[in-house]
Structure 1
Amino acid sequence: MGLFGRKKKPVVEALPEEEEPLLLTDLAPDQPHMMMAEEPGKLWPISRIEAAEQIWGEENLGPGNLNFSMELLNPVGINSETNIVDLAARVGATGRELRRRNGTWVTSLEPDPDLAKDGQARSTRQDLDKKSPVRTYDPNEFELKEGGFDCVFAREMFYLVPDKARLYNSIVSGLKPRGQLIFTDFLVTRAGAVTADMEAWYAYETPRPTPWSLAQTTDTLQGEGMDVRIAADITDRYRDMIVQAWVGLSEKLEKGAIPRHLLKAVASEAERWAAFRRCLDAGSLVVYRFHAFR
């Protein structure tokens, strides 16, 4: 079933009962972002995915394991009838776990086409390619089916979207009445400020981050009619998750447990997160958890 809305703004529909999930159809092949998987210089080649898993654990590409995602989603009261869209699916671990635990159809969307491709391959290997597929999309140009979802979920992705006002408008339009938005994100402590530590971290990120402040985020959500129930600083916990991963990585290195062909990629990924942690330590960036109702 074709799900195109206006050109360059595909509509993601809610998942109907007893049918395969209706997902974002492929964008036009002339769109550069969608061609990234066919071009050299990928953001997420297999070596980087494997290196990230060496640091953070299987199917994890950053701080916080699958249990952390489940903890964030726990207040939703998820069951087999709940329609959820994950806008930062990475390799689709959250969607697959929700399917296994609750029988939930999850629309797992990932901005990077190589991560989405790898995530879909993982779903196929676990016989979940139909029930928990992973598809790519452009967070700068998308629409959700109006009133189609009980919950929109995303972990640490909005800071990379330049037009966050449009993003939040698209999300709110896609929520059912009393639908819930749950996400975590990196925020600046002073709106518009870019410190030397932040510039050092930005050098590792593509696209260039454009993090908002807490006030910018909550004011925009409230302006869209959202009831922001929780806006909690989880910086200390996030920093602890990074530290714990460093301890585990050190043990692996001492034991020679990391494949030699991944050592360079592991070092590069670790440097990226070390640069980010310096921003947390300097107080220029913080990590927040949000829970809002339409």
Structure 2
Amino acid sequence: MSAGTNNPDMEPKQSIKHRFKAWWEGYELEEDKAPPKTLKEPPEREKVALDDGPPTVKGWSLARQRSVVTLFGEGMTRCVPDDVKSKLTKPLGINKKLSVAELGSGLGGFSRWVSHEYNAYVTGYEQDQILQDAAVEMTKMAGLNRKVNFFHADFDEFRPKERSADVVYASEALFPVKNKAGCFRAIHDMLKPSGQFMMSDYMLEGIAPDAAELKGWLDAEPQRPYLHDVQEMRKFLTGAGFEVSIAENITTEYKANVLRAFSDYAKRTSNGEKSGHLHEWILKEGELWMRRIKVMEAGHLKVFRIYARKPVEIT
């Protein structure tokens, strides 16, 4: 046996994936030790999850966090597959020289993906303190906390630092914001001249926000949606000073991605994947998403992708 084999400093360190898995499942991972293969009692985070009470989409208990990650992927609280992430961000020309911000960063999965994909520094803003705290921990465990940071923000009273970003993006994050005009003005002000804003979100087209067809869905949402017609959203953006060049209806693609996520989960469980008590939480999450899909299929709710740019200042 070589001398190096007995030197603790020469032992391979645990991979980032291994360390993240340890944190998520609730046990401590020492630098030179692997996690125990068997545990007589459930890990502490598992105990917390089991004590989360009945499945609900109200708030972000640990069990709900783990259920959406099971459905939508690492760090994702909503259905934004990697190909959709690319469509939302690739046109923005993101690189390591640009300051990038995500609104509604959730558990931080999209922000970490952007940082990895484009070698970029990303700042995430999240309204829910529980999600923001979890995103910070996940990012630390992934070894990305030097490049990805998260801050708590109220988008109805959004006050980011002016001229602090070259690029801002948001995916289905602003529909609960009541003060859309004020939020868009804040985004405009946080962008540098020629800065870019890309968003996808729930919007209306040819139906009033208080239409009877929307009431059942509106009442069942965990957060009250404040919806507007897509043309009114354009007016909010132009009123804030943006030049809007794209407003694309992506509802069909969006529905397909959501249905695919749940189909993939069903296939995995049928092939033997165990989700334990999380299965009931995932079913509750499914009810939320299927209500959204139903109102989309009826033509009452749509998803649009909008691209806007802050004009160059003329002096």
**Residue aligning to 2:263:** 247
**Residue aligning to 2:159:** 143
- 1:214-233 alignment, distance < 5 Å: 214-233=230-249
Q: Which stretches of structure 1, 4 residues or more, deviate above 4 A after TM superposition?
A: none
Tell me how far 1:236 sits from its aligned partner. 0.5
Report if aligned partners of 1:197, 1:278 keep a CA contact under 8 Å in 2. Answer: no
Note the alpha carbon deviations across 1:185-209, whole angstroms, 9 max, x for none.
Answer: 1002235334455333223423311
Tell me how far 1:100 sits from its aligned partner. 2.4
Report if aligned partners of 2:207, 2:300 keep a CA contact under 8 Å in 1. Answer: no
2:143 partner SS: coil
What is the CA–CA distance in structure 2 between the aligned matches of 1:106 and 1:57, rounded to whole Å?
19
1:230 partner SS: strand
1:187 to 188, 203, 208: 203
1:58 to 53, 74, 85: 74
Count of matched residue pairs: 255
Q: TM-score, normalised by structure 2?
A: 0.76
**Residue aligning to 2:252:** 236
One-letter code aligned to 1:225: G
Bigger drift between 93-102 and 155-164 goes to: 93-102
Q: TM-score, normalised by structure 1?
A: 0.81
Q: How well do the aligned residues superpose, as a CA RMSD in angstroms?
A: 1.9
One-letter code aligned to 2:271: K
Note the alpha carbon deviations across 1:204-247, whole angstroms, 9 max, x for none.
Answer: 42331111111110111112221111100000100110121232
1:207 aligns with 2:223: yes
Report if aligned partners of 1:201, 1:272 keep a CA contact under 8 Å in 2. Answer: no
One-letter code aligned to 1:137: A
Distance 1:189 1:101, change over 3 A: closer
Identity of aligned residues (%): 26
Distance 1:101 1:58, change over 3 A: closer
1:260 partner SS: coil
Report if aligned partners of 1:76, 1:151 keep a CA contact under 8 Å in 2. Answer: yes
Note the alpha carbon deviations across 1:99-124, whole angstroms, 9 max, x for none.
Answer: 22333211111111111111111101
- 1:111-126 alignment, distance < 5 Å: 111-126=127-142
Report if aligned partners of 1:84, 1:151 keep a CA contact under 8 Å in 2. Answer: yes
Report if aligned partners of 2:163, 2:190 keep a CA contact under 8 Å in 1. Answer: yes
Report if aligned partners of 2:234, 2:244 keep a CA contact under 8 Å in 1. Answer: yes
1:85 to 98, 101, 118: 101
One-letter code aligned to 1:232: E
What is the CA–CA distance in structure 1 between the aligned matches of 2:277 and 2:255, rounded to whole Å?
28
What is the CA–CA distance in structure 1 between the aligned matches of 2:148 and 2:201, rounded to whole Å?
24
Distance 1:197 1:61, change over 3 A: farther
Note the alpha carbon deviations across 1:135-168, whole angstroms, 9 max, x for none.
Answer: 2211112212222211111100111000101111
What is the CA–CA distance in structure 2 between the aligned matches of 1:202 and 1:220, rounded to whole Å?
22
Tell me how far 1:270 sits from its aligned partner. 0.2
**Residue aligning to 1:7:** none
Bigger drift between 209-218 and 248-257 goes to: 248-257
1:76 aligns with 2:92: yes
**Residue aligning to 2:193:** 177
Report if aligned partners of 2:75, 2:110 keep a CA contact under 8 Å in 1. Answer: no
**Residue aligning to 2:62:** 46
1:157 to 173, 182, 192: 173
2:222 partner SS: coil
Distance 1:195 1:257, change over 3 A: farther
Q: Which 5+ residue runs of structure 2 have no aligned equivalent?
A: 1-52, 311-315
1:129 aligns with 2:170: no
Tell me how far 1:94 sits from its aligned partner. 2.3
1:257 to 238, 259, 273: 273
Report if aligned partners of 1:108, 1:135 keep a CA contact under 8 Å in 2. Answer: yes
2:278 partner SS: helix
**Residue aligning to 1:94:** 110
1:107 to 123, 133, 142: 123
What is the CA–CA distance in structure 1 between the aligned matches of 2:116 and 2:89, rounded to whole Å?
15
